[in-house]
Each structure stands twice: as structure tokens, then as C-alpha cells.
Amino acid sequence: MRRMTGMDRLIASFDQALRSLVPGATAAHRNNPAADLSAQLSINEARHVAGLMRVNHSGEVCAQALYHGQAMTAKLPSVRLEMEHAAEEEQDHLAWCEDRLRELNSVPSVLNPVWYSLSFAMGAAAGIAGDQYSLGFVAETEKQVSEHLLSHLAQLPEQDQRSKAILEQMNTDELHHRDTALDAGGIDLPLPVRLVMTAISKTMTKTSYYL
């Protein structure tokens, strides 16, 4: 296999962005954990769950962009491969959230291109800062994502076993990614960086629920 040039990587990044942003373009590698489970919801319950799943879908779009940006600028080949592997696992989450949104007669957030662009830039900057910071960025991101997932699990109607199964598996994967990043040498990010990440996350959560 020939070594990728800068143009090759640019084209690959554009392809990854399209696959992350175009509904139906990403296929899951694992079976949907919600298979064979039930979820009888009222109209208001379905509308609320759709809002939650739209937020989670946007979160996965951000995760894809983050890993793609970091993989492009990572200095060590081992770190680049780790980012690419994590992005592949996050593709499952993206596909599962899209499946659930379709079941709820809803659609992903129209703001996803904005979230992807911001997250890609942040991931690339983290990679440029150094692999330890890049891995620390992953660990902090996955920590915050897990907190969101646990909050959403607590808000789900008790009978919505389909959404519950998806979010529980997503949370398991996110915590695994966090632990892997820390084990690989990730360091704690400065407090101002963590506060900015939290602010952006809250903005994404509040807007993607409705849009």
C-alpha cells in the first residue's frame, strides 16, 4: 500500500465528513442492541425521546469529527491508529441513533455541519498540541459524553427499552474509549479548556434537541 500524500488525506477527510453528515451514509459494524426490544410511546413521549436521540446523534457527529481531526494531526502512528479505530466504533453509535430517529419519525439536527466543523478544528488543534494533549482531549470528551448519556437514560420513559439499550451500549463504549486514552498517556486538560468544552457541549445539547 502506497503512503498517503497530503492530498490523499484531504480527500479522505472530505469523504469522512460526508459519511458522518449525510443520513444513511454510515453503516454499523455491530448489530443494533435495540433489536427485538419494544417501545410503546405516547406522542409526547416520542417527541421527547426524539429530541434526546437527536442530541446524542449530534454528539456522535462531533465524536467522528474530533477523531478525524486528531488522526490527521497526530504525531505518533500508534495514536493515529487508535483515533481511527475509535472513530470506527463511533460509527456504530451514529448508525444506531439514526435508526432510532427514523423509528420515531424524526430527523438529525440541521446544525450538524456546524458541530462537525467546530469539533474537527478542535481535534486537529489538540493533535498539533501533542499526543498527550490529544489523548487527554479524548478522555475529557468521552467523560462529558458519558455524563450526557446517563442524564438521558434517566429521562427515558420506562417502557422505551429500545432507546435504553442503545444508550447503555454507547455509554459502555465511551467509557472504554476514555480509559484507553488515559492508559495510552492522556493527561488532564487545563481547567479553562475543560470549561470551554463544557460550554460548547451545553450549547450543542440545547439547540440540537429542537433543531
Is residue 19 in a domain? no
Is residue 13 in a domain? no
Is residue 36 in a domain? no
Residue 174, annotated as binding a ligand? yes
pLDDT, tens digit (0-9, with 9 covering 90-100), for 147-174: 889 999 999 998 999 999 999 999 998 8
pLDDT, tens digit (0-9, with 9 covering 90-100), for 11-50: 666 666 666 666 766 777 888 888 888 778 899 999 999 9
pLDDT, tens digit (0-9, with 9 covering 90-100), for 114-132: 888 888 888 888 778 777 8
Give the Cα separation of 8 and 63 in Å (integer).
22
Residue 29, annotated as binding a ligand? no
Is residue 63 in a domain? yes
Residue 142, annotated as binding a ligand? yes
Is residue 185 in a domain? yes
Q: What is the DSSP letter of 3?
A: P
Is residue 189 in a domain? yes
SS3 letters across 83-116: HHHHHHHHHHHHHHHHHHHHHCCCCCCCCHHHHH
Residue 90, annotated as binding a ligand? yes
Is residue 20 in a domain? no
As separate numbers, helices (DSSP H) first and strands (DSSP E) second, the chain gives 7, 0
Domain interval for residue 52: 41-208
* Number of domains forming the structure of the chain: 1
Residue 60, annotated as binding a ligand? yes
Q: What is the pTM of this model?
A: 0.83
Residue 166 sits in a domain whose CATH number is 1.20.1260.10
Is residue 1 in a domain? no
> Which sign does the torsion angle of CA 144, 149, 151, 152 carry?
positive
Residue 148, annotated as binding a ligand? no
Tell me the residue type at 55: V
